[in-house]
Chain A
Amino acid sequence: MAKLPTPHELMASRKDFPAGSWLDVKPEFAPGSFCYPAKVETMERLHMPHPHEWDPAAEDWNLPDNWEKILCDAFEERLEKHRSLKLFMDICVRCGACADKCHFFLGTNDPKNMPVLRAELLRSLYRRDYTMLGKLLGVSVGARGWDKSVVKELFYYAYQCTECRRCSLFCPYGIDTAEITAIVRELLHEVGLGTHWIMDPVKNCSFTGNHLGIQPHSFVEIVEMLADDCETITGIRPKTPFNEKGHEILFITPSGDVFADPGIYTFMGYLLLFHELDLDYTFSTYASEGGNFGSFVSFNMAKKLNAKMYAEAERLGAKWILGGECGHMWRVVNQYMATYNGPAPSCMMDVPTSPITGTRFENAASTKMVHIAEFTADLIRNNKITLDPSRNDHIITTFHDSCNPARAMGLLEEPRYVLKAVCNNFVEMPENTIREQTFCCGSGSGLNTEEIMELRMRAGMPRGNALRYVQQKYDVNHMACVCAIDRATLTPLANYWAPGVTVSGLHELVGNALVMKGEQKRTMDLRQEDLPNVDPDEPEDDAEQGEE
């Protein structure tokens, strides 16, 4: 008769020293720990290699017959193409400086989520084919060959890295583990392995311009609905220029700002700000997506989806591009766009210059793209807009540095400058969780899908933990950020780790505080929630409302 296990046995306490090496411990594909696979028809429409039906939880992933040759050849091709990859494979001395810097490791406590070991999954394969010692001594020097379980392992861990690059910050050699993850994902695509959450938006972007695949006329109507909401709140209906030629500025933002809560309130902030400035700008329904999920697939797919930015700027005759609050869009723009699709069209001005303040954004001379936080910070510094931060007095806010703007473009001060101008109560999270050392939301790089919600909650734990700390110590009840994925994913993260903290974009708070010429008395914020301490029946004080 079977015996009931003791509590100790149920805990499955491991032995003091495990029998096998860490490389021999294989991941278990339990529901909640992997993303759903891409649909065959999606992969076919995008002409991806080897589209096929497969299930991550199944034993057999139906790989093509010559899968090993495909992967070896693809790896070799990339080693030839990217000198950085070859360098990253060779120079790691396994010092471990990166090991405990990854939010996935801190949340899962899975050793293979240490960036050094995640990269070692690929490096061990490299060692067998490209190093003398590996060829001669094999396993004893950490070299191994390809087999199907290795492919599964690569998939499992390449999609437990958000390419946030926090580990790179601590690497004495500057190894960019995100690049290694990106290459592993590229390799897996060579044998038809991709995820639905990434490939579906890629398909939609390819055919209709934005992640949800909303047709141009519908896109315009949705934006007009948001303009109607602005009118309800302020009494002013902001203009919504679309696809108009001859404007100085083309504005591009992630489509999540148009479709998703709470991003839409950030978008309303943009509309109100641009209207107040009487900015000479246009939206585009073709370049209606700032995000680039292609950058989570392959070099070529990222290049393809990025191309519409310059193409549309050229078609519409824009002098420069103003970019909205997005994360990975800015990494693509700052680090890859020149290689993908540069140089910028000749119709664009040498140095983007603010038509309101005359400030020349020298930092954007190469890309011709200015981040909206820089643009607004410049407006505030030059006293070009009137703000009433007391409208945000019910908020005690902190600021989450989104990984890509912080680490890939150094955008650290501008959002804080804006935030302090529109909110009277601002508190920083602990030093080792912000700025360059910011912790990822745990859902970037195409992992913001609901089937892995529990994985996201453990990966986002270091961020949630720091947020909870300032919530309890300083009564923080709000977190601002400048990334569309963050706005969507920090909301459940905050709800889980620090219930009671709301999440918004920076320009939602700007829109709340912005005093517009001729506006009605504000009694509600952009979410149409009543502003505290405002009596709707009390006549407004003209002196406080600026020019009437």
Chain B
Amino acid sequence: MKIHDIFRPQKEAVISKWIEAVYATYPLETTGFLRTRKDPFTNPVGDMTHEAAGRLFDAVSGEDTDPVTVRQAIDRFVRLRAVQKMTPSQAIGVFFLLKPIMREQLLPLCTGDRARAAYLNAESRLDSIVLLAFDMYTEARETLAESRITEIRSQCAQVVRWAQTVDGSPVSGKS
């Protein structure tokens, strides 16, 4: 029996627990709204969390471990947490909340040495996803920092270009 044959029937239970754990990082007054609204534009945080959850499970279980698709699936979720008011560890460590859920839901089903080893590999895949997410988080924060600089330049780009012509030299090229 392959490990994802053990994992697959548990998918809904595991991801719903992880989603609840993610929602629990937000204030209580907000959680009900996150749980109940289904429209992706009315409840974008819920939608991003659901999108990340499904793919996270597939990647951890070993069903789809392509880094490109994993990145795509958690991209919005990581970008969101990179700008929400939380520490870097809170932003990214949220993936680790899957581990105790896996140990509670999946580990007892993995009997025998081979299944145990396969389970440990699944946990290692979760570790890899966290590292992947860490890179993405850092890229998002760098984009943010660059945006600040670009915006300061753009705000008065034309004035700077004009100021460079004040000594009589012609305007050269674009600002």
Whether the Cβ atoms of A458 and B93 lie closer than 8 Å is no
Q: Mark B128-156, 1 if CB is under 8 A from A, else 0.
A: 00000000000010011001101110111
Q: CB-nearest residue of chain A relative to B96? A: A7
Interface 9-residue window, one of A256-264, A346-354, A399-407: A256-264
Interface of B is mostly: helix
Chain A's nearest CB lies how many Å from the CB of B170? 10
For this complex, into which size category does the number of interface residues on chain B fall? 35 or more
CA distance A261 to B154 in the complex (A): 5
Q: CB-nearest residue of chain B relative to A18? A: B28
Kindly name the residue among B29, B148, B158, B162 whose own CB sees the greatest number of chain A CB atoms within 10 A.
Answer: B158
Which B65-104 residues have a C-beta within 8 angstroms of A?
Answer: 76, 79-80, 83-85, 89-90, 93-94, 96-97, 99-100
* A2 within 8 Å of B (CB atoms): no
Whether the Cβ atoms of A496 and B140 lie closer than 8 Å is yes
* A228 within 8 Å of B (CB atoms): yes
Chain A's nearest CB lies how many Å from the CB of B119? 18
CA distance A374 to B24 in the complex (A): 48
Interface 9-residue window, one of A9-17, A330-338, A510-518: A9-17
Contact of B29 among A111, A433, A454 (CB under 8 A): A111
CA distance A499 to B144 in the complex (A): 12
Whether the Cβ atoms of A109 and B90 lie closer than 8 Å is no
* B161 within 8 Å of A (CB atoms): yes
* A495 within 8 Å of B (CB atoms): yes
Q: Which residues of A contact B151 (CB under 8 A)?
A: 450, 453, 488, 491-492
* A356 within 8 Å of B (CB atoms): no
Interface 9-residue window, one of A72-80, A121-129, A413-421, A464-472: A464-472
Whether the Cβ atoms of B25 and A13 lie closer than 8 Å is yes
* B174 within 8 Å of A (CB atoms): yes
- Given the known interface contacts A33-B85, A458-B80, A528-B174, the answer about A8 and B100 at a Cβ–Cβ threshold of 8 Å is yes
Whether the Cβ atoms of B147 and A225 lie closer than 8 Å is no
Q: Mark A422-444, 1 if CB is under 8 A from B, else 0.
A: 00000000101100000000000
Chain A's nearest CB lies how many Å from the CB of B174? 6
- Given the known interface contacts A432-B42, A465-B76, the answer about A260 and B162 at a Cβ–Cβ threshold of 8 Å is no
CA distance A12 to B27 in the complex (A): 11
Chain B's nearest CB lies how many Å from the CB of A497? 7
* A238 within 8 Å of B (CB atoms): no
Q: CB-nearest residue of chain B relative to A529? A: B174
* B159 within 8 Å of A (CB atoms): yes
* B169 within 8 Å of A (CB atoms): no
Whether the Cβ atoms of A14 and B158 lie closer than 8 Å is no
Contact of B33 among A99, A226, A496 (CB under 8 A): A99
Chain A's nearest CB lies how many Å from the CB of B44? 5
CA distance A465 to B47 in the complex (A): 10
Contact of A100 among B33, B79, B147, B156 (CB under 8 A): B33
Whether the Cβ atoms of B162 and A225 lie closer than 8 Å is yes
Whether the Cβ atoms of B150 and A109 lie closer than 8 Å is no
Chain A's nearest CB lies how many Å from the CB of B167? 13
* A212 within 8 Å of B (CB atoms): yes
Whether the Cβ atoms of B156 and A212 lie closer than 8 Å is yes
* A461 within 8 Å of B (CB atoms): yes
Chain B's nearest CB lies how many Å from the CB of A240? 14
Q: Mark A371-415, 1 if CB is under 8 A from B, else 0.
A: 000000000000000000000000000000000000000000000
- Given the known interface contacts A261-B154, A261-B175, A430-B41, the answer about A212 and B159 at a Cβ–Cβ threshold of 8 Å is yes
* B37 within 8 Å of A (CB atoms): yes
* A457 within 8 Å of B (CB atoms): yes
Known: A430-B41, A450-B152, A495-B143. 11 other contacts (CB 8 A): A8-B100, A10-B89, A13-B24, A110-B30, A110-B85, A222-B158, A225-B165, A261-B158, A453-B148, A462-B44, A466-B41
List the interface of chain A (C-beta within 8 A of B). Answer: 7-8, 10-14, 16-18, 22, 25, 28, 30, 33, 99-100, 105-111, 114, 212, 214, 218, 221-222, 225-226, 228, 258-262, 264, 430, 432-433, 450-451, 453-455, 457-458, 461-462, 465-466, 468-469, 488, 491-492, 495-497, 499, 527-528
Identify 18 residue pairs between A and B in the complex whose beta-carbon atoms are under 8 Å apart, listed by A's number.
Answer: A7-B93, A8-B97, A14-B24, A14-B25, A14-B28, A25-B27, A109-B45, A259-B155, A260-B154, A261-B154, A453-B144, A454-B144, A458-B84, A468-B76, A469-B41, A491-B151, A492-B150, A496-B143
Question: Which 5 pairs, one residue from A and one from B, show the smallest C-beta to C-beta distance?
Answer: A111-B29, A492-B147, A7-B96, A261-B154, A457-B83
